[in-house]
Structure formats: C-alpha cells, structure tokens
Amino acid sequence: MVDHEVDTSAGTAVVDADTVDRRGVDGVLARVRAGAGELTGALRRVAEHVLSDPEAAARATIVELAERSGTSPATITRFCRAMGFDGYADLRLGIASETGRARSAGWTVDIGREIQPGDPLQRVLGQIIAADTRAMHDTAALLDLVEVERAAVAIAGAARVNIFGASGSALVGEEMQFSLHRIGVAAWAWSDVHEGLASAALLGTGDVALGISHTGQTRETIEMLAEAGSRGATTVALTGFPRSPLAELADIVLLTASQATTFRPDALSARHPQLVVLDLLYIAVAQRTHDRAHAAFRRTAQAVDGHKAAKGAS
C-alpha cells in the first residue's frame, strides 16, 4: 500500500484555485488578502495566519505553518493552489521577497521549482541535492532528540523489536532491521499485514514496535502498531505528520520533513530524511549497547568477509 496524504482538518473548505479571483493582484500578500474573503474553514485560517505574521510564514516549513494555523500540510498545499502557486516553496519565496527577507539567488531559493521533462541532468541533480539538503535541515529542526533518546533506550533494552511499514516505508524498515541485527538486536521487519499482526500479537512489555509511514495514514501500519501497543510493547512512530493516526497511537513520535519535486512526491522525498533519523537512532542504540554491539558487529563482519572479492581479483 502506498502512503497517501489525507487532510483530516475539520471544517476544511473545498475551494478550487479558479474560484479565487486574482486578476490584477500582483503582490503575494495582496493576493492573499483579496482571496481570503472567499475562503472558509481551514483554508481561511491559513490565510489569516499568513497575513498576521508574513515574516514568520516565510521562514516556516510546511509542517510548521500547518501546526501554527491549526491545519495540516495537505491544507497548506491546497491553500497554495487556491492562491495560484504551484506549491508551498513558491508561496514562501514570494512572501519572503515581499517582506525583504529573500535569500540570495541560487539553489537555496530554488528548492521546489518544477523539474521539466527537458531539464538537463546537471540542473536535476542540483534540484535533488537542494531538496534533500533542505529536507535534512528541516528534519533536524523538527526532530525531538529527547524522543530519540527514549526510543534508543527502549530498543537497547528490548528482547524483541518489530518494525512495520508498507511500500517504500517497508524498504526503510528493512534497512533499519538489518542495521540493528548487525549489532545483536533481535529485530524483524514486517510489511505483510497478516504476518505483521501475528508477530505483533506475540510482543509484550519490554518489547518495541516501530511503525514507519510518512503520512501516518497507512492503515496496515496503524493496525500492526496498534496491535503491538495493545500487548504492552513500547510503540514508536516515524512520520512526517504529528497529528496523524499513527502518531496519535504511538508512545514515542519521531518527525521527518520532506521537499517534494515534480517527479518525487512527499512519499518518495521523505526516504532520505527517514533514513537519517533511523541512522541516528541506530547509532544511539549502538552507543548504549557498546560492548555487545561492538562484539556482534565484529563477528558478523567476519562471517561475511570470506564472500568479498579478493584484492587484485578481476
């Protein structure tokens, strides 16, 4: 199952971009003021928040703006389209330019621009690096290191760790399972809901379950993590949405950010930030089990060493 971003904000108005008359309105903030009167519900709250503090809005990530306006990233995206912008990056850059806080020209203000089919690979590479770099910085700003510490302590002391994810999130989960296994942590990664539920049902107090879903809306992952939690396991959610169903049921929430481009929607662009957070968690676990982890890593490395190509072999 592929993650889908679903907006669950109450009172969100359905407004097509063409319903807001922006003819003759050049400035970004003037455009927002002109269209705000035709918006209702969650979209209206976003407009009011942007107008109340444009400079803060220009500095905020899409997740931060959603939290401050009491909405969701999906609502922010719809708001941008209603205002005639291709995405949040364009809106933020426009506001920053008007408030005199635009950054110097170059890739730092170019993140989020649409990648065209005819773009040279050099520009595509720059876009990918820029988007990933920004996503890493935004993730670092969002991440609560106290929560990472809690998760690391729980995993370090766990008899069993289950990792749940679907589609692309399953691939990230398998990478984490492999890393933990190399340092002697009994970890399993599950993507099939039947197998995952059966395994989750065998967890108990002292065990850990990690659910991975960028949107936090993936039903199978939610079900598996909920089953683990009902058996007494400590539950950890890795997601980009702090108010998502997955985050709501977890004991510990680790947040990531993403920078989508034309050919890399949020669900794909979230992979690198997810891996960074899980790498941090893995190292934190290794630190807390240093002697055991070091010995296990040495033994596992020796076990596979014979399958490496000999030096000088063609």
**Residue 314: predicted pLDDT:** 52
**Residue 310: predicted pLDDT:** 64
pTM: 0.65
Residues of the chain with pLDDT under 70: 1-27, 30, 34-35, 37, 100-114, 259-262, 265-267, 310-314
Distance of CA 296 to CAs 126, 161, 300, Å?
Answer: 39, 17, 6
**Residue 313: predicted pLDDT:** 57
Give the C-alpha separation, 185 to 244, whole Å. 29
**Residue 105: predicted pLDDT:** 37
**Residue 267: predicted pLDDT:** 66
**pLDDT tens sequence across 116-169:** 788 899 988 888 888 888 788 888 888 899 999 999 999 999 999 999 999 889
**Residue 23: predicted pLDDT:** 33
Task: Tell me the residue ranges of DSSP E strands in the chain.
Answer: 161-165, 187-190, 208-212, 234-239, 252-255
Give the C-alpha separation, 164 to 222, whole Å. 9
Domains in the chain, CATH or no CATH each: 28-104 (1.10.10.10), 137-304 (3.40.50.10490)
Alpha helices in 143-244 (DSSP H): 145-156, 168-182, 193-200, 219-230
238 is written with which tokens? Answer: 């890795």
> What number of other Cβ atoms are within 10 A of residue 149's Cβ?
14
**Residue 93: predicted pLDDT:** 84
89 is written with which tokens? Answer: 């990056």
**Residue 8: predicted pLDDT:** 42
**Residue 51: predicted pLDDT:** 83
